[in-house]
Chains A and B, each alone.
Chain A
Amino acid sequence: MAYLLQRLLTEAATRQPHRAAIASGDSVMTYEELDRLSNKVARALLRMGVASGDRVGILAPKSAASVIGLYGVLKAGACYVPLDPKAPLQRLRYVVRDSAATVIVADETRAAQAAELIEGAEQPGGVVVATTVTAESAEPMPERGIETDLAYILYTSGSTGTPKGVMISHRNSLAFVEWAAAAAGLSEEDRVCSPAPLHFDLSVFDIFSTCLAGACLAVVPDGVATFPVTIAQWLEKERISVWYSVPSVLTLLGCYGSLPKFDLSHLRTVIFAGEVFPPKYLARLMAEMPHPRYFNWYGPTETNVCTAFEVPKRRDGGEPVPIGKACANTEVFAVTSEGGLVSQPGEVGELYVRGPSLMRGYWGLPAKTGEVLVPHPFRAEYDELVYRTGDLVTVEADGNYRYVGRRDAMVKIRGYRVELGEVEAALYRHPAVREAVVVPVRDELLGSRLRAVITAVDGVRLTRESVLAHCRQWLPGYMVPEIVEFREGLPRTSTGKVDRAGLAQDQQGSDPQTSGLTSVSR
C-alpha cells in the first residue's frame, strides 16, 4: 500500500515505464522519464542541503517541469509549496518568508524570478531548474519520510490580511487521492485534465490520482483556456476522458463552446468543485453534452474533498445540485447554532468533517488552527479533532447535504477562496484610504465579483487606477476588486458598524448596462 505520494510514481514507473505520464503540447513524458528526472531533482536538492521536512517552493505553471519538481521535492523528504507565477511579488515574498522555504524549484523561464525571491534566505538557499539537472544520478532514490510528514502547503486567503498555509501530510492527501481515483473510475487508458493551477487544491487530483491509475495528465496549453471553442477543439484533439474544474469554465463551455460540433465521445466524466454551479447553466451544459457522467465534489482545502454527488441525467434547472454524501472513509455532520445535530430536512447547521484527509493545521498559526480543528462535539470518550468548515448546509431526506451559505465573510471568486478581510487589509495599506469595505456582487453567470467602497483621507482625490495599482502589488488578480466606488462616508448601522448588508444590497454606482451581467442572452 502506498503511504507516500512519491510511491505512486515509482510504482507506475515500474509497472508501465513507457506509458505517457504527462502530455503537454506536442511533447509527451513517460512514467520512466518522470521518475528518473525527479530522482535527479531530489539528489540536487539533497546536495544543496535540503533536509527532511524542509519547505521547497515550486515556481512554475502546471507542466512537466513543475511535476518533475514536486516529485523531486517529495523524494528528497521535503514538502513542496506552490508559488503562483501570476501572483504579485509581494505576495510570493510573503509565502516564501512565511513558509521559510530556502530553495525554489523553477522552470527555465522563471529561474531569475526564483533567485530574486530567495534572495536573503538562510542557508542552504538556491534555485533548482527542474529540467536541467544533469550532474545527478537518475537511479532510484531511497525512500524518505513517513505518512504523517507534510507533503505540501497550499496558501489560501486569510481573513486577517495575510494568506495562511494549509498543511497537508502524505496520509491526508492519499486519503483523498485514493478515493478520488476510485470514484472517477480512473484507469491507465484515461487522459485527465484540470485547468486548475498547482496552488489550487483541485490540482491534487490530476497530478496524483492520475499517477495512481497510471493514466496521462494532459496540460491545457497557454491561451487555449480563454476561448470556449478552442477548449472544445482541444478536448477533441487530445481525446480527454476526465475533466475536473470550477463551474465557471464549464458554464462558458456549455454556453459558447459549440459542443455538438465536436467529437467529445472520449469525455466520459466531468467533475466540478469549488463553488456552486448555477443550475440553469449546468442544465445547459448537460443538454449540450449529455453523454458524460457529471459529479459535484465538495470540500475546503483543509479537508480535501469530503462529499460527492453524482448529478442525475434528468434534472430541471431549479435548485443547485446537492454537495452529496461523505466520501469513503470520511464522515460529515452538521451542527445547528444551538449545538444540536442536524437530522431533519429544513434544519440549517454548520458542516463538520472527520477523517484522515483533514489537514495537519495552518502553518505557524496554532491559534487559528485551534479555531477550526476542534474536539468532536458529540464524543467525549476519547480525543478526536474534527474540522469546522464554516459552510452552512441542510440535509435532504435521502441523506444528501445541500450548501446554503457561509457563516463568515468568505466568498468564492472563480472558485478561489477570498476573505473579504484580506482584500480590505490590502486597501488599508494605501496611505490615502481612510475606510474601505469590500462586498461581493452576485453575478449569475460569473459567480461573485468584488466591489470596494472607499472613503479617502481628507483632501486627497483617489482614482480607480491608483487603487487598482496598489492592490496589484499585494493581491493576486482574482482578489482585486473589479468595481471601485468612492464615497464621502460609509453607511452605518444603529450600532455604529459599517452597514455591510446595506452596501451589499445597494447597487448604486454600478451602471446596469455595464455591470449588470445577469444572463447569457440566448
Chain B
Amino acid sequence: METVIKDYISRELVRDPALLPVADETSLLESGILDSLSLLQLVVFLEGRFGITVGDADLLPENFATVNTICAYLRTREPATQAAHG
C-alpha cells in the first residue's frame, strides 16, 4: 500500500524533483507537495484505488501528513481496503 501511494504521489503530484524520492516519512504538507487541489487528486485516487470513501471529517492534516499516516488512516477503513488490494 505504501509503495502504491508513493508511486502515485511521485508520478502525479510532485512537480519539484528536488522533493524526490518521496519517503514514508516525508512531510507532504510542509514540503508543499499537497495543496488544496493535489490533496483532492490524491483523495480521488485513494477512493478509486482502494474502494473507500474518504469522509469530509477525515480530510484532516493528521491523516495526510505523510505516506505513513495516510496508510494508517486507510487501515482504519479495513473492510474496504481488503476488498480492493492488488
Which A residues lie at the B interface, using CB under 8 A?
223, 225-230, 248-249, 252, 256-258, 414, 445-446, 464-466, 468-469, 471-472, 477, 480, 482, 513-515, 517, 520-522
Chain B, 41-68, contact with A by CB distance < 8 Å: what is the 0/1 string? 1011101110001001101110010000
**Cα of A33 to Cα of B59 in the assembled complex, Å:** 38
Partner of A514, one of B8, B36, B37, B57: B8
Residues A223 and B56 in contact, CB atoms below 8 Å apart: no
Residues B37 and A517 in contact, CB atoms below 8 Å apart: no
Residues A472 and B39 in contact, CB atoms below 8 Å apart: no
Shortest beta-carbon distance from B84 to chain A in Å: 12
Write out the residue numbers on chain A whose beta carbons fall within 8 Å of the beta carbon of B39: 226-227
Beyond A226-B35, A468-B16, 9 additional pairs, beta carbon < 8 A: A226-B34, A227-B59, A227-B61, A227-B64, A445-B40, A464-B11, A477-B15, A477-B16, A522-B53
Q: Interface SS of chain B: helix, strand, loop or mixed?
A: helix
Residues A468 and B57 in contact, CB atoms below 8 Å apart: no
Residues A482 and B12 in contact, CB atoms below 8 Å apart: yes
Residues A256 and B56 in contact, CB atoms below 8 Å apart: yes
**Given that A249-B36, A482-B15 are contacting pairs, would A229 and B44 also be in contact in the complex, using a CB cutoff of 8 Å?**
no
Write out the residue numbers on chain B whose beta carbons fall within 8 Å of the beta carbon of A252: 36-37, 40
Residues A480 and B15 in contact, CB atoms below 8 Å apart: yes
**Given that A226-B34, A252-B36 are contacting pairs, would A257 and B15 also be in contact in the complex, using a CB cutoff of 8 Å?**
no
14 contacts between A and B (CB under 8 A): A226-B29, A226-B39, A226-B61, A227-B59, A228-B59, A249-B36, A256-B59, A258-B57, A446-B40, A472-B17, A472-B18, A514-B12, A517-B44, A521-B53
List the A residue with the shortest CB-CB distance to B64: A227
Q: How large is the interface on B (under 10, 10 to 19, 20 to 34, 35 or more residues)?
A: 20 to 34
Q: Interface SS of chain A: helix, strand, loop or mixed?
A: helix
Q: B72 interface residue, CB < 8 Å from A?
A: no
Within 8 A of A (CB), among B12-29: 12, 14-18, 20, 29
**Cα of A227 to Cα of B34 in the assembled complex, Å:** 10
List the A residue with the shortest CB-CB distance to B44: A517
**Cα of A258 to Cα of B8 in the assembled complex, Å:** 27
**Cα of A256 to Cα of B59 in the assembled complex, Å:** 8
**Cα of A513 to Cα of B47 in the assembled complex, Å:** 11
Write out the residue numbers on chain B whose beta carbons fall within 8 Å of the beta carbon of A521: 44, 47-48, 53
**Cα of A226 to Cα of B36 in the assembled complex, Å:** 4
Residues A228 and B47 in contact, CB atoms below 8 Å apart: no
Shortest beta-carbon distance from A134 to chain B in Å: 33
Shortest beta-carbon distance from A304 to chain B in Å: 26
In the complex, which of the residues B15, B18, B48 has the most CB atoms of chain A within 10 Å of its own CB atom? B15
Residues A248 and B37 in contact, CB atoms below 8 Å apart: yes
Shortest beta-carbon distance from B60 to chain A in Å: 6
**Cα of A522 to Cα of B43 in the assembled complex, Å:** 12
Residues A465 and B56 in contact, CB atoms below 8 Å apart: no
Write out the residue numbers on chain B whose beta carbons fall within 8 Å of the beta carbon of A464: 11
Partner of B11, one of A225, A256, A514, A520: A514
List the B residue with the shortest CB-CB distance to A512: B48
**Cα of A446 to Cα of B37 in the assembled complex, Å:** 7
Write out the residue numbers on chain A whose beta carbons fall within 8 Å of the beta carbon of B40: 252, 256, 445-446
**Cα of A229 to Cα of B40 in the assembled complex, Å:** 13
Residues B44 and A469 in contact, CB atoms below 8 Å apart: no
Shortest beta-carbon distance from A431 to chain B in Å: 17
**Cα of A430 to Cα of B16 in the assembled complex, Å:** 16
**Cα of A160 to Cα of B33 in the assembled complex, Å:** 29
List the A residue with the shortest CB-CB distance to B40: A252
Write out the residue numbers on chain B whose beta carbons fall within 8 Å of the beta carbon of A517: 41, 44
**Cα of A226 to Cα of B17 in the assembled complex, Å:** 21
List the A residue with the shortest CB-CB distance to B56: A258
Shortest beta-carbon distance from A463 to chain B in Å: 9
Shortest beta-carbon distance from B77 to chain A in Å: 14
**Given that A227-B61, A228-B56 are contacting pairs, would A515 and B12 also be in contact in the complex, using a CB cutoff of 8 Å?**
yes
**Cα of A471 to Cα of B14 in the assembled complex, Å:** 13
Shortest beta-carbon distance from A445 to chain B in Å: 7
**Given that A249-B36, A513-B49 are contacting pairs, would A465 and B61 also be in contact in the complex, using a CB cutoff of 8 Å?**
no
